Structure formats: structure tokens, C-alpha cells
């Protein structure tokens, strides 16, 4: 499975549809799988809800209950459940067409058990745009209309409709804002109260792949206002974001270099994505001795400097850009374990020695038997060295494995919560996870809240309270100074099940670093560190178990410490193949996959510097299938 789809609450049931390939455990022809739950914790699997048809496969989308029967598809007494999804026409795609994604509709009159495709599909045809998908539909009460938020390459587009069947374009948002290291996907537009302030704001959630905070897929958000036509950023929130440098935007004009064409050669894949900025090239360990080159046509050096930004290249091997003058390599620059979108490294080459000579640029990825990639953008010729600000985005989750999450529609007003699950995975290695018979899972369900913290408005995530029903045995640990390392699982049965929850409150005033180390009998370990000297949280899964299936999987995940405060709280869920860490009441979250070969049966807390444990509880968690 991949993305959660069509999440809707109706008649006492939470529906979770999802991207599903019934024919294998890698991505393939997409169907909508289906599961139903009374509490978001215990799930029952249902038959496949939506199958591909002559318009294409079933890509991601959403569902709503048409309470006022605006579509005429239901009745007042039995409103239709309506799903809006993306048709992906793989035949049109392989024929080289651009318009292979369009939005379709289906409806159910029996609480989501059986579905009928709308006869007038597609309801929103493709206007000639390659990435045009993942409709999330919500009701906009002030103007009594439906709003569809759609991911369109490097921005979102808003469409409106009175009846769910005909859609009118309203506006676009995002080309200039937030992370643009990859394509925008799976957006969500959510109106939310600001905690404790009696005001409401609109939050726009957007998935991004690649370009996430710790590589690969990630989920960013924007806080602002939606007036039924357009989304505008909240002024204060806007200050936290940098404007995206223009040439870093996908699909934008590559002006300073417009007359130099690039040609791909070698056996790297994804050179196909390379001929528009940011120029990028990837290779795969599936291709022996993969080497890919993007070569510019020759040009004459006329200015003193070549400035550019580089990212990627974080795996062993050569990955970078080089300058050749008269066919001799005179300059090279490799990526430095960074993502172009988030941490671009700005490079300046003084080329004054070769003014008047003929040169070529090569973007190379030859990683000698492992994964790798190089991305380059903003190549400019100038007489001055360059300096470019990095893009700053707000991230829902700093862990590598929370993608494509959207909120449940139809949650009763009396409940009022914003509830979400994400796909616990990352496209960087999703197809290679060391699992058999299944692949892909969802995150724990979370409640999202908009809260004003030291950084201004922040979207925080906490595990839903319903999860407490899973708590079995509880152990309360003694508070006091942390001298010797403390085993938190000592008296728990969870040691054999590998399923537990930890709640820890610590006074950090004298702390340099606090470590929580999970380990297994097989000697595997995962470390979460609060590193006050660097002001970062760090999650290290490089020794966590099976990791070699992917190089990026081994990288240390980091997040800035939101507040180098005195007290810190951690709520941590550990399952057989995952850890979900909620720091400071969900201000910072790490969701991460782990594949230990034996269950984690130890959780040890240790501190460098004077540190006090204020309170700690450990719970064994029951299986949701019991």
C-alpha cells in the first residue's frame, strides 16, 4: 500500500481507503483498498473499493458525505458518500502525452461497501499539465460550495463546485513558497481553531517528494486564510518561510542558461527528469556500475565566475558537477550529503583563467554500485560570486516516514478534532523495504492542533486519545536525578512483544545530551538523542537492524530543537517495525521505520550532564488485532 485515501467518517465508522496494488508488493496498477474502524485503532479489512477502468488506474483522492445531496446522487434520507480521485492513464503516459491525469468521481449509497463510477467521468479533465492529481475535497460553508485542492506540479490549485460534478478553477498557491525539492502531492486544506485564542486559521498541508527535511519524501504545511477563492499566507507565518529562489522551482524557466542544452547519456535512470531545473541525475544500485552524465553543449566562457547550487551526492562515489575546458576537467564539485531544496550548497568557481575558451559542464552521477544522485540549480555566469538563501519550510514531521497524510472528512462538529494518518514510508526506499508478503503501513492516527509557540503558529501532532485502549500493563518509574542509565522496560511484559509506549518528562537544565537507546537481543539499536550542544534532536537508525537495503535509510535524522527549554516531554510508540516520537506535546515529531531482526526488549535512558527525571511511565501495548 501507499497513500491513505478517501478518509471519511460516516455513520459511526472511520473509513480508510488506500493506494493498493493487489498483484504484488511493489507499486503497480493502483486500486483503492478499504478498511473500516469504529475508533481509528481497530480495523477491519474490506474488499477493494475502486478498480481501474478505461480512464486509468485509481490514484489518490478523498471522500465526502454529500449531506445536502448537492450531487443528486443520493437522497435526503440516504446521502451519497462521494469519492474524488485521480485517474492515471498509463497508456497515455507511455505514449508520451502530458495529459494523463484527470479527476474522476465514484459514489456509494451503502456506507462505502459498494461503489459506482460516475457516468460523466472525468469530472475534471486535464488541461495539459503533467502532474495534476490527488484531489482533496471539503465543504466551504460560507459560500455553500465544495472546494477541491489539487496538487499541480509545483503548486496547488483550488477548484470550486456546487454539485461535485462540474469544477471551476479559482486560484493557485505555492509556486514561490515552501520546499520545492520535488513534486507537490496530496494536499489538504483544513480550517482549524488556534488553540486558546478563539480565532480560526486555514492550514494547507502539502506533501513533497523528494525534498523532505531528512531526505526523500516529506510533508510541509502553511498557515493562512482561505476566502473561498484564494489562500493567502498568514503574515506572521510568512516570516518563517523564505521565498523560493526562482530557478529552484521545478518547471521554471532556466533563464541565465537558456541557450545551453543538456544531453543525458550513460545508464543512470531518471535522467528523464533532468532536462528541466533543478537539473538532476540519479543512479541505482540495480544497474551495475551505473554512471549517468548530463552534458551541456559547448559554450564560450565570457564572465569571471560560474555560480550554482548543488545538492545530493550523499552516497559514496562521484556525484557532482564538473567543468571541462578544451576537454580537460578543470573544476569539480561534489554534493555534500544535502538536499538541494532544504540545504543548497552555493558554489562559486572563478573561471577567469579561461575567459574566451570553449567549455562544457557535466553533471555526473557515477556511484559505483550504490544509490546516488546529484542535483544542480541556479547555474549563472556572472562577474560576482553568488550567495543564495536556503529555502525554509515548516514540516509536519521530521522523521523520514510520514508521507501523503491528509485529514478525515465528516468528523462531527461536536468532536471538532482534525484527525490524520500518513503513509509510514518514503519513496526513497518504499519499494525495497525488507518485508515479505506485505509492504507499507500507515502511521498511528494523530490529532492535529494549531498552537502558538515561541516560533509563532505551529501545527502540532499528538497520537489520538483512542490509542489509550491499547495500554496493558503499566510501570511507573522512580523520579530523581539520572545517574546510572535507567532501563525503562525492566518490569514489563512488553519485553517479549516489542510493542510499548513510553512517556518521559525530564528537566534538562544541566543536560548536555540525553539518549534513549532501544536495543534488541540481536545487538541492534536505535538511538534518539536530545543534543543540547548542537540544538538538535537526532534519530540514528543506522544500527537498528536490517538497513542495508537502502543507503539513505542509514542517515541520521535531525530536527532543530524548537526551544532549548528546561523541561522536555517525550511520548514514544514502538512497534515491531516502527518508532513514533512526539517531542514536547507534538511540536516536533519523528516517525520512522525500523527493521530489527529481534524485537526491541530494552529502552535505556542516559544523560550527559546533570539531569532530572521528573516522571516516566512505560506501557505494554496490546495488539490492535486482539
For ligand FRU, the closer CB: 137 or 323: 137
User: Least distance from C-beta 393 to ligand FRU, angstroms?
Assistant: 18
Binding of residue 86 to ligand FRU (CB under 6 A): yes
Say how far residue 171 (Cα) sits from the centre of its chain. 24
Using CB under 6 A, count the residues that bind ligand FRU: 12
Q: Is residue 460 part of the contact set for ligand FRU (CB under 6 A)?
A: no
Q: Name the residue among 99, 95, 117, 100 with its Cα closest to residue 108.
A: 117
Strands 13-20, 31-37: pairing kind: antiparallel
- In the three-class reduction of DSSP (H, G, I as helix; E, B as strand; rest coil), residue 94 is classed as helix
Q: State the nearest-atom distance from the C-beta of 84 to ligand FRU, in Å.
A: 12
Give min distance, CB of 405 to ligand FRU, in A.
10
Contact status: 126 vs ligand FRU (CB under 6 A): no
Burial 95-109 (b: 16+ CB within 10 A, else e): eeeeebbbbbbbbbb
Instruction: Determine contact, residues 373/365, Cβ cutoff 8 Å.
Output: yes
Answer yes or no whether residue 443 interacts with ligand FRU by CB under 6 A.
Answer: no
73 vs 404, which CB is nearer to ligand FRU? 404
Indicate whether 185 belongs to the interface with ligand FRU (CB under 6 A).
yes
Quick check: 520 binds ligand FRU (CB under 6 A)? no
Q: How far is the CB of 541 from ligand FRU (least distance, A)?
A: 22
User: For residues 599 and 577, what is the distance between their CA atoms, to the nearest angstrom?
Assistant: 9
Q: How many CA atoms lie within 13 A of 291 on its CB side?
A: 8
Task: Report if residue 404 touches ligand FRU, rule: CB under 6 A.
Answer: yes
| 442 sits near ligand FRU (criterion: CB under 6 A) | no
Strand partners, 63: 83
Least separation, in Å, of the C-beta of 86 and ligand FRU?
5
Least distance CB 160 / ligand FRU (angstroms): 21
> How many other β-carbons are positioned within 10 Å of the β-carbon of residue 625?
6
Q: Is 186 a residue that touches ligand FRU (CB under 6 A)?
A: yes
Among positions 15, 117, 133, 532, the unique one binding ligand FRU when judged by CB under 6 A: 133
Catalytic residue selected from 3, 66, 234, 507: 3
- C-alpha 569/C-alpha 398 separation (Å) is 17
Handedness of CA 402, 1, 206, 311 (dihedral sign): positive
Nearer to ligand FRU, 134 or 378 (CB): 134
Binding of ligand FRU by 89 (CB under 6 A): no
* 148 interacts with ligand FRU by CB under 6 A: no
The whole-angstrom separation of Cα 221 and Cα 206 is 6
Taking the least distance from each CB to ligand FRU, the nearer of 293 and 404 is: 404
Q: E strands, 478-586, where?
A: 480-481, 486-487, 500-520, 525-531, 536-540, 557-560, 567-575, 578-583
Of positions 2, 161, 526, 571, contacts ligand FRU by CB under 6 A: 2
Nearer to ligand FRU by Cβ, of 23 and 625: the residue is 23
Residue 59 in contact with ligand FRU, rule: CB under 6 A = yes
373 bridge partner residues? 282
Q: Least separation, in Å, of the C-beta of 539 and ligand FRU?
A: 22
In the annotation, is 515 catalytic? no
C-beta of 19 vs 149, nearer to ligand FRU: 19
Which of 69, 81, 79 lies closest to 114 in space, CA to CA? 81
Nearer to ligand FRU, 18 or 115 (CB): 18
Least distance between ligand FRU and beta carbon 504 (Å): 33
One of 3, 89, 339, 428 touching ligand FRU (CB under 6 A)? 3
Half-sphere exposure of 178 (CA within 13 A, CB side): 28
Length of the chain: 626
Helix (H) or strand (E) holding 235: helix 235-238
Does residue 30 touch ligand FRU according to CB under 6 A? yes
> Which grid cell is 160?
470550486
List the one residue from 16, 36, 56, 60 that touches ligand FRU (CB under 6 A). Answer: 60
Interface pick for ligand FRU out of 6, 19, 506, 551 (rule CB under 6 A): 19
Question: CB of 216 within 8 A of CB of 209?
Answer: yes
Measured from the CB atom, the residue of 133 and 449 that comes closer to ligand FRU is: 133
Q: Which residue has the cell 514514544?
A: 572
Residue 574: closest CA among 539, 605, 600: 600
Interaction site with ligand FRU (CB under 6 A): 2-3, 19, 30, 59-60, 86, 133-134, 185-186, 404
Active-site residue numbers?
Answer: 3
Amino acid at each position: 500500500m501507499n497513500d491513505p485515501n478517501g478518509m471519511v467518517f460516516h455513520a459511526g465508522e472511520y473509513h480508510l481507503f488506500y493506494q493498493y496494488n493487489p498483484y504484488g508488493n511493489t507499486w503497480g496498477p493502483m486500486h483503492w483498498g478499504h478498511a473500516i474502524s469504529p475508533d481509528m485503532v481497530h480495523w477491519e479489512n474490506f474488499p477493494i473499493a475502486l478498480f481501474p477502468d478505461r480512464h486509468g488506474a485509481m490514484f489518490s483522492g478523498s471522500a465526502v458525505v454529500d449531506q445536502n445531496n448537492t450531487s443528486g446522487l443520493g437522497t435526503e434520507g440516504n446521502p451519497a458518500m462521494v469519492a474524488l480521485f485521480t485517474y492515471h492513464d498509463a497508456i497515455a503516459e507511455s505514449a508520451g502525452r502530458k495529459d494523463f491525469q484527470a479527476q474522476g468521481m465514484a459514489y456509494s449509497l451503502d456506507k462505502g461497501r459498494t461503489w459506482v463510477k460516475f457516468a460523466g467521468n472525468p469530472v475534471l479533465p486535464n488541461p495539459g499539465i503533467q502532474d495534476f492529481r490527488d484531489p482533496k475535497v471539503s465543504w466551504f460553508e460560507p459560500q455553500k460550495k465544495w472546494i477541491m485542492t489539487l496538487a499541480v506540479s509545483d503548486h496547488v490549485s483550488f477548484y470550486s463546485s456546487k454539485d461535485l460534478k462540474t469544477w471551476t478553477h479559482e486560484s493557485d498557491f505555492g509556486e514561490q513558497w515552501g520546499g520545492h525539492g520535488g513534486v507537490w502531492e496530496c494536499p489538504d486544506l483544513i480550517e482549524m481553531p488556534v488553540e486558546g485564542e478563539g480565532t480560526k486559521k486555514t492550514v494547507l498541508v502539502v506533501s513533497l517528494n523528494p525534498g523532505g527535511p531528512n531526505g526523500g519524501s516529506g510533508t510541509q504545511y502553511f498557515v493562512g486564510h482561505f476566502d473561498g477563492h484564494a489562500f493567502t499566507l498568514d503574515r506572521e507565518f510568512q516570516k518563517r518561510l523564505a521565498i523560493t529562489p526562482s530557478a529552484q522551482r521545478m518547471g521554471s524557466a532556466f533563464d541565465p542558461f537558456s541557450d545551453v542544452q543538456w544531453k543525458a547519456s550513460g545508464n543512470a535512470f531518471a535522467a528523464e527528469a533532468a532536462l528541466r531545473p533543478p537539473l538532476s541525475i540519479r543512479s541505482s544500485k540495480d544497474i551495475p556500475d551505473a554512471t549517468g552524465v548530463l552534458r551541456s553543449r559547448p559554450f564560450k566562457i565570457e564572465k569571471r565566475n560560474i555560480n550554482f547550487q548543488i545538492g545530493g551526492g550523499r552516497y559514496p562515489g562521484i556525484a557532482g558537477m564538473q567543468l571541462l575546458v578544451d576537454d580537460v576537467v578543470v573544476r569539480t564539485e561534489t554534493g555534500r550529503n544535502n538536499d538541494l531544496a532544504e540545504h543548497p550548497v552555493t558554489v562559486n568557481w572563478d573561471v577567469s583563467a579561461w575567459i574566451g575558451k570553449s567549455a562544457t559542464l557535466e553533471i555526473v552521477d557515477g556511484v559505483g554500485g550504490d544509490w546516488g544522485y546529484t542535483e544542480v540549480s541556479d547555474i549563472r555566469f556572472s562577474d560576482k560570486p553568488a550567495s543564495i538563501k536556503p529555502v525554509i519550510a515548516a514540516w509536519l514531521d521530521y522523521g523520514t516516514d510520514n508521507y501523503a497524510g491528509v485529514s478525515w472528512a465528516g468528523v462531527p462538529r461536536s468532536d471538532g478534532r482534525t484527525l490524520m494518518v500518513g503513509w509510514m514510508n518514503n519513496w526513497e526506499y518504499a519499494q525495497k523495504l525488507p518485508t515479505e508478503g506485505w509492504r507499507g503501513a500507515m502511521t498511528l492516527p494523530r490529532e492535529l492542533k494549531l498552537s502558538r509557540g515561541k516560533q509563532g503558529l505551529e501545527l502540532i501532532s499528538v497520537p489520538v486519545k483512542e490509542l489509550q485502549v491499547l495500554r496493558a500493563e503499566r510501570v511507573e518509574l522512580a523520579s530523581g536525578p539520572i545517574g546510572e542509565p535507567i532501563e525503562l522496560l525492566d518490569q514489563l511484559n512488553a519485553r517479549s512483544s516489542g510493542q510499548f509506549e513510553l512517556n518521559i518528562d525530564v528537566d534538562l537544565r544541566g543536560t548536555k545530551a540525553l539518549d534513549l537507546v532501544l536495543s534488541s537481543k540481536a545487538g541492534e539499536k536505535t538511538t534518539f538523542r536530545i543534543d543540547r550542544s548542537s540544538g538538535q534532536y537526532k534519530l540514528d537508525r543506522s544500527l537498528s537492524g536490517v538497513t542495508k537495503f537502502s543507503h539513505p535509510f542509514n542517515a541520521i535524522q535531525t530536527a532543530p530543537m524548537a526551544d532549548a527549554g528546561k523541561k522536555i516531554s517525550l511520548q514514544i510508540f514502538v512497534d515491531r517495525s516502527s518508532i513514533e516520537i512526539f517531542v514536547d506535546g507534538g511540536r516536533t515529531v519523528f516517525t520512522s521505520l525500523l527493521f530489527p531482526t529481534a524485537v526491541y526488549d530494552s529502552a535505556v535512558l542516559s544523560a550527559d550532564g546533570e539531569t532530572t527525571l521528573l516522571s516516566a511511565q512505560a506501557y505494554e501495548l496490546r495488539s490492535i488485532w486482539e
